[in-house]
Structure 1
Amino acid sequence: MLLSQYRTPAGAIQIAARDGTEAYAVATDQTLYDLAMACATAGISLRDCIGQLGLGAPVDLEALSANGSMLPPLFHPDPAHTCLTGTGLTHLGSAATRAAMHEKADKAETDSMKMFRWGIDGGKPAGDVPGMQPEWFYKGNGHALIAPGAALPSPSFALDGGEEPEIAGVYVIGPDGTPFRVGFALANEFSDHVTEKQNYLYLAHSKLRACAVGPELLIGDLPQDIQGHSRVLRDDVAVFDAPFASGEANMSHSIANLEHHHFKYGIFCQPGDVHIHMFGTATLSFAQGLACRDGDVFEISAPAFGLPLRNTLAVAAPPAAARVTVMTL
């Protein structure tokens, strides 16, 4: 089942569901966040909950996508309670790009290659034993979450704004602090690769950027082998067009291991919060020498996830210099 959310002409948030080619409005005025939290509280599956609610009129998702009505598939009503995070060096082939970015003059093994090798050796442990922890980064809160079809902003001080086609896990935290995975979605993790290339210690700066997720949320298990496509369009011409692979068959870590090393921190298990956790990629236009420009369109697609995720790069105007005001007692 694929679930999505869109804005109605009256301004309400409506959930749509589909099991095949046709999508239908779910017979509820609740958001997907509301339903997910209700399911976490009651201990029932989201699929069963939607089955009980029933479906209404058919929905033309293509038209909604074209007119900019699609929303992220799940988000907290208070953006401060949505946490955007991710992991890197998790996919077979991802280390080569990163190692080239951070290659040492003496040709010694880079820290990136070392961490990738650790993942290969211990990222898919047997049973319930935790494996090697991955690289981890923070992207921001819900204010950095961009809807499908909306402009993807790049700050004026950025040295680069490049796509990262990924799969994201989408979670809510239940009333007792238990993380519940609601589903998986396409994501454009979007980073500043030029800043990161200067020094790997700038990784945190390079990741504090907006990201886009959706349009549709896959309910259930993640397919083992996901074959997707990533394109960058400039004036309707593809200046980058490449396949990307995800799913555990193409990863050095299991999804369970990545989830464990995120949610092992109690700060990420606060009841009611939403987490969108991106699992990494091995495909970047930056690695092929492309410098993305204002107005470029990013398109990320994979058949299992329904509609493609499209966003247009928009470089922000320079703001006034950041100033801290001293509070007078």
Structure 2
Amino acid sequence: MISLVQFRGADGDRGVAVIRDGRAASRLPGVSSTLALARRALAEGTTLDALTRALGDGPPVDLAAVELLAPIDHEDSAHLLLSGTGLTHLGSAEGRDKMHRALDDAAHQTDSMKMFLMGVEGGKPADGAQGAQPEWFYKGDGSSLVAPGAPLLSPDFALDAGEEPEIAGIYLIAGDGTPVRLGYALANEFSDHVTERGNYLWLAHSKLRPAALGPELLVGELPAHVEGVSRIVREGRTLWEKPFLSGEDNMSHSIANLERHHFKYGLFRRPGDVHVHFFGTATLSCSDGIETREGDVFEIEAAPFTLPVRNPIVRAASPAAAVKAL
């Protein structure tokens, strides 16, 4: 199994390290970014795995002594799109249902539960078929992607700053418009759950927040069962901790179905664009009554990823959004 890690050294130069089968990281010779490596693989008609192996190992890289970068980025942040799907994991409807079931009779299904059941019944169609549509949301562009260890900025108008431990798929659109999956990253799809709880139609607002990825891009297939831990650390002590599950064995949709529904739109098949697509979660601290605050640190870890996602919350002032006539 191969993982790629983007970094910046003490000299300011960028590089890409490779972790092969859990061994110590080494530098990929002549490679300055994951995107450049992916473009080269496409141009040479090979795979990331094969190209990485052909390049061999350069000098060792001490990942604790360099600046870790997000595992994917783009020279023009407008050409990196963050999006995601919800209600995709077995058990995820319960937490969402608690959030939305305030005035409704408990005997009636909420729209969230109906959407979840659609996935359970039709989210894993036979190969090549298109199954039930998942919930979908837009999250931002590359400017919303937070580097490892960097703050997750919660705007001053936010009502909540909540974690979502997830797996994200990373994609590059080839010259002919074909989406090419580069691999997977561990992720924190940061959201405002109190805003969403107020009215589920505010989901779009609740998702317009930054997001963090772990340092590693896992090349190849995601294991069918991924088990990890999500925690919140406050003033050096663990405030909340809970295991989470992902991978297709724990999902109501197949990854292929989520990909088909995202990339069925021509807008998302523009050559040269990069996509980070979050696959959803079933574990939220807000479902356990946790209220986060500035300074709290989110920590998410899961095998086969060897490095965690770790980011603090920082409250950020939002500039006035007044519109002027021209």
Could you tell me the TM-score, scaled by structure 2's length? 0.97
- Deviations along 1:206-262, one digit per CA (max 9) or x if unpaired, are 000000012111101010000001010001111111100000000000000000000
User: Contact (CA 8 Å) 2:295, 2:312: kept in 1 or not?
Assistant: yes
2:79 maps to which residue? 81
Which structure 1 segments of 5+ residues have no match?
none
Indicate whether 1:248 and 2:248 are aligned.
Answer: yes
Contact 1:62 1:307 in 2 (8 A): no
Letter in 2 for 1:78: D
Q: In 1, distance between residues paired with 2:104 and 2:252?
A: 27
- Superposed, 1:168-247 pairs within 5 Å as 168-247=168-247
Quote the residue 2:70 is aligned against.
72
Identity of aligned residues (%): 56
Mapped contact 2:41–2:51 kept (Cα < 8 A): yes
Q: Which amino acid aligns with 1:2?
A: S
CA distance in 2, matches of 1:130, 1:29: 37
Q: Offset at 1:61? A: 1.6
Quote the offset at 1:167 in angstroms: 0.2
Letter in 1 for 2:180: F
Q: Is 97-106 or 253-262 further displaced after alignment?
A: 97-106
State how far apart, in whole Å, the 1-side matches of 2:177 and 2:32 are: 22
Post-superposition Cα deviations, 1:159-212, rounded to whole Å, max 9, x if no partner, equal: 000000000000000111110000001010000000000000000000000000
Give 2:34's match in structure 1, choosing from 15, 32, 47: 32
- The number of residue pairs the alignment matches comes to 322
| CA–CA separation in structure 2 for the residues paired with 1:9 and 1:320 | 34
Match in the other structure for 1:14: 15
Q: Distance in 2 between matches of 1:290 and 1:174?
A: 43
Q: Is the 8 A contact 2:225 2:249 kept in 1?
A: yes
Q: Displaced runs of 4+ in structure 1, greater than 6 A?
A: none
Residue 59 (structure 1) shift = 1.1
CA RMSD of aligned residues (A): 1.0
Instruction: Output aligned runs, 1:119-158, within 5 Å.
Output: 119-158=119-158
Structure-2 separation of matches of 1:70 and 1:30: 13
The answer for the alignment partner of 1:105 in structure 2 is 104
Q: CA deviation at 1:321?
A: 2.0
Deviations 1:279-315 (CA, angstroms, capped at 9, x unpaired): 0000011110111110100000012011011001111
- Which of these residues, 21, 44, 47, is aligned with residue 46 of structure 2? 44
Amino acid at match of 2:256: A
For 2:97, the aligned partner's letter is A
Question: Which whole-Å CA distance do the structure 2 matches of 1:323 and 1:194 have between them?
Answer: 25
- Measure how far apart 1:62 and its partner are: 3.2
SS of corresponding position for 1:49: helix
Give the TM-score taking structure 1 as reference length. Answer: 0.96
CA distance in 1, matches of 2:178, 2:284: 34
CA distance in 2, matches of 1:210, 1:233: 19
Contact 2:185 2:213 in 1 (8 A): yes
Q: Give the residue type in structure 1 aligned to 2:189.
A: E
Check conservation: 2:193, 2:286, Cα contact below 8 A: yes
Q: CA deviation at 1:55?
A: 1.5
Give the residue type in structure 2 aligned to 1:127.
D
2:323 alignment counterpart: 324
- The aligned amino acid for 1:39 is A
Q: What CA distance in whole angstroms lies between the structure 1 residues aligned with 2:31 and 2:23?
A: 23
Residue aligned with 1:40, SS: helix
| Long gaps (5+) in structure 2 | none
Contact (CA 8 Å) 1:40, 1:180: kept in 2 or not? no
Give 1:3's aligned residue: 4
CA contact (8 A) 1:41 1:175 kept: no
Contact 1:25/1:55 (8 A) holds in 2: yes
Distance 1:127 1:145 in 2: 32
Is residue 2–residue 306 contact of structure 1 (8 Å, CA) maintained in 2?
no
Q: In structure 1, how many angstroms separate the alpha carbons of the residues matched to 2:159 and 2:207?
A: 12
Hey, what does 1:54 align to over in structure 2? 56
